[in-house]
Structure 1
């Protein structure tokens, strides 16, 4: 087995250090010559954030942020060519943004907090508060994030996944339940460790006694992709057809990849608790479609299921028909289904077009005595919704 250790700091501290409130421009030296250092972003005590960019020749600079009113936020230029704008107070959250300079999307060169989401890059800024504490590394015991290469019966070569092990795993003897957590369309195995900061969330929840210590396995949900494209290059087979966040049109390969290859590998190489009651599967968007088609079918393997922002349930009538097609017994014998499920968790952003359909499917399942935990969060189809989803779901798993 090939294992590659990555220090937690590589995934989280690079973009999780909150911006301070120094002077807008501070003195510095480089090569023996004085120069000005631009402070951006600058988080103020009341939650307002000031962004700055030195671009003397630009005619228009905008901030493109994912907070309300943050898209196309116009900046103003002073006599030195320094552009700036200050937002209204923002809610405590890990926010994402880029600059648009004369129509060209660019990163903030003064902010080293950068995330990659698929092939796109963005800066982040953490506004501290009670709601965002779970996203900030605290002075608590930390788990480990490990890259593993899992033999694939479909690709005939190993594929990469990340595995979070909780504090105390290394050097211990305890066995742990496992959550198999999938990314969405365009993502890869780095999505949940980086964009989702799953390890930071779990470290904090475990330290507070809010979540049971568990292992989280974050594979590449594209069964025909060896690893993130920056590492492995293009896919060696055509990608699955994707539509409405539902994932690939045929899920037999996903089932083989997860149930046939990934789970046996994890249970051989990590100290896990055996049995379906100690396995959960969840995914966002495309990953929720895969979860729906694999976990709803394989209740003999998974006892806990999470669907985050599921396009497959956007149309409630079609969603219920999909569930019926995947596993006729799921709806035909609700008493048995309810008994087999330890947790069925649905979540979505309040501004996501999928939210109404998911709410109606959750309501319908609850009316049939198949309990669904239904959560909504401010936001669209985005990571701030999915990070909070993981934080809430983790507190309910394996209890």
Structure 2
């Protein structure tokens, strides 16, 4: 209980919205009046890319910062902070490599979560993330480019409603132009309100449109999972990810049957296969791939970023991997898809489908690289041309999504 109270106090010290200031009392002044002091800046990136973490927690006995550097799906770096006489804890780490890193203060063993739902006006990032400048960060933070608009909406989806996010490019509402559409199947229980996680997508689109690296486009972001979830729980495969049931396939088709027509009626789209693309990450990304591969009359472009193909219903099979978790991070170490079973789901994906683009990417240091190689062989046998990228040093995490999306976008709608 004491630790929880201390963590609550530490949380109160985190930056508050400008219109709701909550400065902290610090000591007493004359006549017993409390002195008020603003909370310290929790993260400061120095010019040499070292990072200073600071937290006021005068009653705490131990404070750590947990961070996503140098990598890992949960963050594998814990660093102790040092306390001064005023109860201010701080530590300097790095220099860190260019990327967008997450962090979390841990006060006497209790996480003091930064405010969820708040983004920095300067970076557009959630309060528990910060950017180290360079190639892996600059495209994902605002630089003054004209901004697109965001719409949250929903449609009937199987026996429920599916909420999702629609990005329209700068100038959409001041013109009568029609635009191509990219559907992103990102997962993570996306309910149309997860703008913190999506913010890097919007910023990337703004920056790449402004620099003329991509065409202006409409982007629909959704989690294609079935309303009650299609996961059967923990996988029976050692080193495997989730398994899915038949609703996974039904939900993939519902994207085509419900969401695509709704978008075409509600927004100024170029409503033909040549101007529709679908792609995404991990198991949701493979579900989007399934939707596109089964409906080449709807989508001419499909793609996956670290596609979770072993999660398709009944497709995964056990293997003895030659890879080791000491180097490879992510799901499906000892599981790959049975390619005959996978192929039976998508007989439409062949040379006759005349796909404009089939895109696949994978991190060089994640176990799904085994599935990636099998998929390349499968597409070769089907006579399907593809664009495949192995991203050096990437694993199964948010950095992988950002880099994959940046590689995917310039290839669209040519």
Which TM-score band applies after superposition, normalised by the shorter structure? 0.7 to 0.9
**SS in structure 2 at match of 1:197:** helix
Match of 1:351 in 2: 365
Does the 8 Å CA contact 2:231/2:242 hold for their aligned counterparts?
no
Q: Which of the two has higher C-alpha Rg?
A: 2
Q: Quick one: distance in 2 between partners of 1:364 and 1:298?
A: 18
- Match status 1:371 vs 2:385: yes
Match of 2:209 in 1: 206
CA distance 1:248–1:87, shift in 2 (3 Å) = farther
- Compute the displacement of 1:206 (Å): 0.8
CA distance 1:140–1:203, shift in 2 (3 Å) = same
- Match status 1:71 vs 2:77: yes
Q: Quick one: distance in 2 between partners of 1:211 and 1:377?
A: 23
- Match status 1:138 vs 2:140: no
Q: Give the length in aligned residue pairs.
A: 344
Match of 2:265 in 1: 268
**SS in structure 2 at match of 1:131:** coil
Q: Quick one: distance in 1 between partners of 2:381 and 2:194?
A: 35
Q: Quick one: distance in 2 between partners of 1:297 and 1:100?
A: 47
- Compute the displacement of 1:343 (Å): 1.4
- Compute the displacement of 1:223 (Å): 3.5
Does the 8 Å CA contact 1:303/1:342 hold for their aligned counterparts?
yes
CA distance 1:247–1:345, shift in 2 (3 Å) = farther
- Compute the displacement of 1:367 (Å): 6.9
Unaligned stretches of 5+ residues in structure 2: 1-14, 16-25, 27-32, 121-125, 236-240, 311-331
**SS in structure 2 at match of 1:240:** coil
Match of 2:285 in 1: 288
Match of 2:345 in 1: 326
CA distance 1:83–1:248, shift in 2 (3 Å) = farther
CA distance 1:178–1:327, shift in 2 (3 Å) = same
**SS in structure 2 at match of 1:176:** coil
CA distance 1:318–1:267, shift in 2 (3 Å) = same
CA distance 1:39–1:316, shift in 2 (3 Å) = closer
Q: Quick one: distance in 2 between partners of 1:39 and 1:183?
A: 32
User: Which is further off, 210-219 or 65-74?
Assistant: 65-74
Match of 2:41 in 1: 39
Among 70, 81, 91, the residue aligned to 2:97: 91
Match of 1:335 in 2: 351
CA distance 1:280–1:248, shift in 2 (3 Å) = farther
Among 233, 241, 253, the residue aligned to 2:231: 241
CA distance 1:348–1:283, shift in 2 (3 Å) = same
- Compute the displacement of 1:262 (Å): 0.7
> After the TM superposition, which residues 1-399 of structure 1 pair with which residues of structure 2 at under 5 Å, given as runs?
33-35=35-37, 37-68=39-70, 71-108=77-114, 113=119, 123-152=128-157, 154-155=158-159, 158-191=161-194, 194-195=197-198, 197-224=200-227, 238-242=228-232, 244=241, 247-313=244-310, 318=337, 320-330=339-349, 334-337=350-353, 340-362=354-376, 365-366=379-380, 369-375=383-389, 376=391, 378-399=393-414
CA distance 1:44–1:222, shift in 2 (3 Å) = same
CA distance 1:151–1:136, shift in 2 (3 Å) = same
Does the 8 Å CA contact 1:189/1:220 hold for their aligned counterparts?
no
User: Which is further off, 367-376 or 379-388?
Assistant: 367-376
Does the 8 Å CA contact 2:152/2:192 hold for their aligned counterparts?
no
**SS in structure 1 at match of 2:97:** coil
Does the 8 Å CA contact 1:245/1:285 hold for their aligned counterparts?
no
CA distance 1:80–1:356, shift in 2 (3 Å) = farther
Q: When the two structures are superposed, what TM-score results if normalisation uses the length of structure 1?
A: 0.77
Q: Quick one: distance in 2 between partners of 1:291 and 1:68?
A: 30
Unaligned stretches of 5+ residues in structure 1: 1-14, 16-26, 115-120, 225-237
Match of 2:321 in 1: none
* RMSD, aligned CA: 2.9
Does the 8 Å CA contact 1:377/1:388 hold for their aligned counterparts?
no
Q: When the two structures are superposed, what TM-score results if normalisation uses the length of structure 2?
A: 0.74
User: Which is further off, 164-173 or 143-152?
Assistant: 143-152
- Compute the displacement of 1:246 (Å): 5.9
